[in-house]
Amino acid sequence: MSQPLEGLSAIVTGAGRGLGRAEAIELARLGASVVVNDFGQPGRDGTGEASRGPADDVAAEIRAAGGQAVAHLGDVADHEQARELVRLAVDTYGKLDILVNNAGILRDRMVFSMSEDEWDAVIRVHLKGHFNTTHFASVHWRERSKATAGPVYGRIVNTSSEAFLAGSAGQPNYAAAKGGIVGLTTSTALALGKYGVTANAICPRARTRMTEDVFQGFQEPVGDALDPLAPEHVAPLVGYLASPAAARINGQLMVVHGGMVAIVERPKVAAKFDTAKGVFSHAELDELISPYYAERPQNETFAAAEVLGLKHG
C-alpha cells in the first residue's frame, strides 16, 4: 500500500530538534524524501573526528528507519543559503514538492525593554527566513508549471503562533514576525494557487528547547501519557496539509496542539460608520465611534486571547 507522500520531496527548516524534527520524521514516515535543515556547523569531538550536527542526526534517523533524507546546515535567513537549500532538494530528488517553514528563535522582552538587535534577530530568522525559502521554492514551481503548461504539485506549511493571535505582551518581536508570516501565507496562497501550489499556516503549541521557559509547568504530562505539548501532536497536521488530501485547503490558519485542531476564521468587519458631511470632523467621529466602544469590554482588543483556552475535548 502506497504512502500519501510517496514520490514527493520535502524541505523542513529548523528540523534538527523539537517541532521541526517531529515534522521531518512524520513526512518521511508518510513516504516523502526529506531535506532536514538546521543552522549550524559540524564541529570536532574529543578525538578530533568530525562530529555531526542535529540536522545530520535527524537525517540519519530517517534513513535508519528506511526513509530518504539529507541534511542541510545553512541559515534560511540568509538569502543565498536559502537558495542553496532549495537547490539541494531539487538536485538530490529531482524536484521540490513540499516546503515546511519552521526555523525560529526567541528573544523575549517587553517592548520598552527590547533592544534593536533583539527585534532584528527575531524578524530576520522568522519572517525573512520564511520569505527566503518561499521565494526560491515559488520560482522552482513557477518554472516547472510554465515548462509543462499546467499546474504542479506544491505545498507550503508555514509556522505562525498564538502569540500573534492572542497578542503576547512579552514577545512584541515574535508576535509581529508571526503576524507577518500569516500575511505572507495568504499573499502566497493567492499568488501561487494558479500553479497548483497551496500555502497554509499553523499556530502550534509544543514544548521544545525554544519554548521550554514559555511552557514551564504548563499542561505537564500525567503518568505515562504523551505530553499534551509534545511536537508529535502537531506533526500529523503538517503531514496532512502536505498531502494530496489537502488540495482544497489554501490560505488557511489553524491552531494545533494536544490532540486538537482549530480552524481560525478570517477577520470580519464589526461595524461601519459614514460621515454625513463629506469629511469626518473630530466631533462627528466622537459622536459616532465613542458610544460604540462604550458598549464594548474595556480591555477587548483585536487580539483573540480566547485561543489560549482551546484544548482537546
Which active-site residues does the annotation give? 161, 174, 178
- Cα–Cα distance between 134 and 11 in angstroms, integer? 11
Beta sheet of 9-12, edge-to-edge order: 69-72, 33-37, 9-12, 98-100, 154-159, 197-204, 253-257, 260-264
Answer yes or no: are the C-beta atoms of 51 and 45 closer than 8 Å. Answer: yes
Please choose, from the candidates 182, 144, 138, 107, the residue with its C-alpha nearest in 3D space to the C-alpha of residue 11.
138
Please choose, from the candidates 91, 24, 92, 90, the residue with its C-alpha nearest in 3D space to the C-alpha of residue 58.
24
Find the angle CA(100)-CA(103)-CA(105) to the nearest 5 degrees.
155
Answer yes or no: are the C-beta atoms of 64 and 96 closer than 8 Å. Answer: no
